[in-house]
Copies of this chain bind each other. A is one copy, B any other.
Amino acid sequence: MNFIRNILKNSRSQEDGNFFLILKDILGYKPKHETLYIKAFTHRSMNIKDKKGNPINYERLEFVGDAMISSVIAAYLYEQVPHGDEGYLTKMRSKVVSREHLNDLGKDLKLIDLVKSRIPKSNFGNNIHGNLFEALVGAIYLDKGYKVCEKFLFDRVINPHVDIETLEGKVISYKSLLIEWCQKEKNTFSYNVYEDTGKDELKHFSVKLSINDKVVAKARATSKKKAEEKASKRAFFALQNQINKLI
């Protein structure tokens, strides 16, 4: 084990000194088995092998993470959707764990910034974001067990992003829901949209949503409409939390 720890640690140079600082911020705890997380952010192009010649990279961890995400979401949907039969629950889960959604989660956490790779990051396809997210979840499970992994998924996926009403197609637009609420509560609101293509090839837009002149949510997407909807949804859930805390 020391052998693997050393080769993995050596693969991270001085400039990655803040790797564990950033990671702790994402995880909300200090990792116990650091090598698992280093592995979760090691791309196959690094060509690192263990003593027996087995490659060390994040791909095997994706397998574990994918299974854990499926389990946590399955148990959550079972409780939340009592009228859904097996087929319906399966369909709902596939919406939550869609490739697109997993990629968004990885992007939101900026996981790609942590990857160690020999090929330029601009050469990666879009799926690397979701793959890294799955690998990170796998590392969390193996490091800290199911409960911590479940908590991470509730904090990072279910509470901020999963909404049964939307999944069931009952909420058409969070923007209209939010505007309605603002008008009812006599709050002012504004969407500040600007082009923010960054390093992406596709045109992207960022939006800052303010309520009573205070930024309450930010989002980024490939269209103005999508970015506004995303920010509205985030604001909606942030506000819901606040309301719950006040009760």
Binding site for B on A (CB under 8 A): 50, 52, 54-55, 59-64, 66-68, 70-71, 74-75, 77-78, 82-86, 89-90, 138, 141-142, 145-147, 150
Among candidates B63, B71, B138, residue contacting A68 with C-beta atoms closer than 8 Å? B71
Give Cα A55–Cα B63 distance, bound, in whole angstroms: 34
Are B71 and A67 in contact (CB-based, < 8 A)?
yes
Are B84 and A60 in contact (CB-based, < 8 A)?
yes
Give Cα A85–Cα B63 distance, bound, in whole angstroms: 9
Which residue of the partner chain B has the closest CB to A146?
A: B146
Given contacts A50-B82, A64-B74, A70-B71, list 17 more A-B pairs with CB under 8 A: A52-B83, A55-B85, A59-B85, A60-B78, A60-B86, A61-B78, A62-B86, A63-B77, A67-B67, A67-B71, A67-B74, A67-B75, A68-B74, A71-B71, A78-B142, A145-B146, A146-B146
Where chain A touches its partner, the secondary structure class is: helix
Among candidates B63, B86, B147, residue contacting A63 with C-beta atoms closer than 8 Å? B86
